[in-house]
Structure formats: structure tokens, C-alpha cells
Amino acid sequence: MSNFNINVGENNINNILNLNLFGINFKNPVFLAAGVMGETGSAMRRIAKNGAGAVCTKSIGIEKKPGHNNPTMVEVEGGFLNAMGLPNPGIDEYIEEIEYVRKQMHELDVKIIGSIYGKNEKEFAEVAEKIVDYVDLIELNISCPHAGGGYGSSIGQDCNLSHKVVSSVKNLSDVPVVAKLTPNVTDIKEIAVSVEDAGADGITAINTLGPGMVIDIDAKKPILGNIYGGMSGKAVKPIAIKNVYDIYSAVDIPIIGVGGITTGRDAIEFMMAGASAVQVGTGVYYRGYDIFNKINDEIKEYLLKNELSMNDIIGCVHK
């Protein structure tokens, strides 16, 4: 059962959303998830100006990658399927995007989470070494469900490989490291324990579900260029909540909850399951860029109305 100390603001309208996680002070617990609006510095700055406590980059690798052919994203009932194909300019070029907005992020008091991917611990370490001086926190993408080729969930579905990747990045610096886990496993607790044992400072849960597939019956063809892709959005929320609940019961490191959050009530549900902070990705499509301010206001309203602090609700359903 989680047993860490996170300092949060008490029942005071000005600091009730403040929290210290992994030794970092965040002005609020609502962060931008990897993969959405994290491709460029200016997109991240836009999210930062709309109230996020932290922004996460698109997952970045060593080499430039063009991504899959279009369509790479399709709306389905209850969410979206995506298979972007990890498009990114490669770490050397991407650093310029972070450089471009770093000062403004600092002025806005918004932290930067660097999401990185690789196909083994060596590649992860290589990217981490290059990004480490530019970010506040590193998030390891060991969970993309359709990456193939030894990337993504093929690491996160294996305790030993997950352990190796986390240790290699932890050995590099003092910057906190969180592992983003896939729900597409038999027992997420085993993977959570293995990344904790490797020294992870926290866990982000969950990445997209599946993969799934949609067919255009008029064209008689799959819609996505990659044929299948990961499911995100409102429909995945109950699965994400269950995974956060299970992880909280198995480890002592903080959890960042993600999966289908569009309202303050959703965020509070994740906190009650055990998340100390949350990330929002697909929700941006439903409620606009301003979703970060909206969710923060809704969490604040709930806490003040019920005379609670975030500490009172984090993991409260386990008691």
C-alpha cells in the first residue's frame, strides 16, 4: 500500500491544489499527457497558458521518425483510436523545441515532463542523457500498444525488460523518472513492483488500450493507416481507474493517473483510486485547450465544498 509523503496545500483557496511530488513543486495536479499537443514548443506553451501544472512532450527517440501514413487518428464511440507511429524529429532536433519555451514555462511555473522511447535500455539511456538537462521529470514510454519492433508495450509487458530500462535511466542523473505502464498485461502489479524495485520515482498509468481496429464498410478497408491503434478517451476510464487502484495497492511510489479524464469529477475518481496527480490527453478534444483550468476549478470546488484536502482523497477508497 502506498506510503509516501506528498506535501499538498491545505484547505485554503490559494494553495489547495499545490503539491510536491518526486521533490518537485507543482502548482496543480492536472498535467498534459504525452502525445497530444507536445510536438512543438509553441503547442506546449499554449497548454501551459491554459492552466496545466506540467506539460509532457510527445515521445522522443534517438532518430527522426516520420510516423505512419494517414489517417493516424479516428474517433470511435467513447474515444479515439490512434496509431501515429511515434513521429518525432529525433532528440537532437527536439531539444530546440524545449529550449524555445523553457524560460516561459519557468515564468508560468509549469513543469516539463520529457517522454522518451527506445527499443532497449541502451537507447533509452542515450535519449535520457540528452534530454535530462532540459526537463523536470522523465517519463519512460514502455507502453505504446502498437509500436512493435521491440518498442513500447513489448518492454512494458515484461518485468525484466522494464526493470532494465528504468535502472539504466535512473543511473544517469538525479532527475526523477516515472515509468508509463500499459494496461495490456495479465497483472499490472507485477510490472509496477518491478519498476519500483528498479528505482522508479513514480508510475504513470495507463497508456492506450488495445490496440483496436475500425473498418470503413463502404471502402471495405481498415480506417487507420496502420490498420490498428491504441484506444483513448472516456471509454477507457474504468479500466484506468482499476489499474491505478491495483498499482496503489502494490507499491509505495506516487502514481500519475491518466485515461479518459475530462472533468474534475473524473480527476477526483483517479485520486480516490490512488493517483496523486493526473494527465489529460484526449480530453483536450472534448473540452478545448482550457480543459486544464476547468478541471482545476472543478477539483478546487469539490475540495472546498467538502472541506477536504487532496491528501484526504488520494487513495481514500483503499481505507
Positions marked catalytic = 144
202 carries a ligand binding annotation = no
In the complex, least distance from residue 302 CB atom to ligand DHB, rounded to whole angstroms: 29
Question: Please, which residue, 165 or 313, has the CB nearer to ligand DHB?
Answer: 165
Question: Please, which residue, 59 or 154, has the CB nearer to ligand DHB?
Answer: 59
3-state secondary structure of 105: helix
83 carries a ligand binding annotation = yes
Query: Contacting ligand DHB (CB under 6 A), which of 144, 175, 178, 205?
Result: 144
Residue 141 binds ligand DHB (CB under 6 A): yes
Question: Please, which residue, 66 or 238, has the CB nearer to ligand DHB?
Answer: 66
282 carries a ligand binding annotation = yes
Residue 282 binds ligand DHB (CB under 6 A): no
In the complex, least distance from residue 226 CB atom to ligand DHB, rounded to whole angstroms: 8
In the complex, least distance from residue 146 CB atom to ligand DHB, rounded to whole angstroms: 6
In the complex, least distance from residue 180 CB atom to ligand DHB, rounded to whole angstroms: 7
What are the CA-CA distances from residue 198 to residues 34, 159, 191, 202, 296 (Å)?
A: 22, 10, 11, 11, 33
In the complex, least distance from residue 68 CB atom to ligand DHB, rounded to whole angstroms: 7
Grid cell in block for residue 69: 501514413
Residue 57 binds ligand DHB (CB under 6 A): no
DSSP, residue by residue, 217-273: TTTTEESSTTSEEEEESGGGHHHHHHHHHHHHHH-SS-EEEESS--SHHHHHHHHHH
Specify whether the CB–CB gap between 138 and 176 falls below 8 A: yes
List the x/- string, 85-104, binding to ligand DHB by CB under 6 A.
xx------------------
CA pair distance 196, 193, nearest whole angstrom: 5
List beta partners, residue 255.
203, 275
State yes or no: cis peptide before 203, omega within 30 of 0: no
Query: Contacting ligand DHB (CB under 6 A), which of 2, 28, 50, 59?
Result: 59
CA 269-243-162 angle, to 5 degrees, is 135
What are the CA-CA distances from residue 234 to residues 53, 139, 247, 284 (Å)?
A: 22, 23, 21, 12
Binding site for ligand DHB (CB under 6 A): 35, 59, 82-86, 141, 143-144, 207-208, 230
Binding site for substrate: which residues? 58, 82-86, 141, 207-208
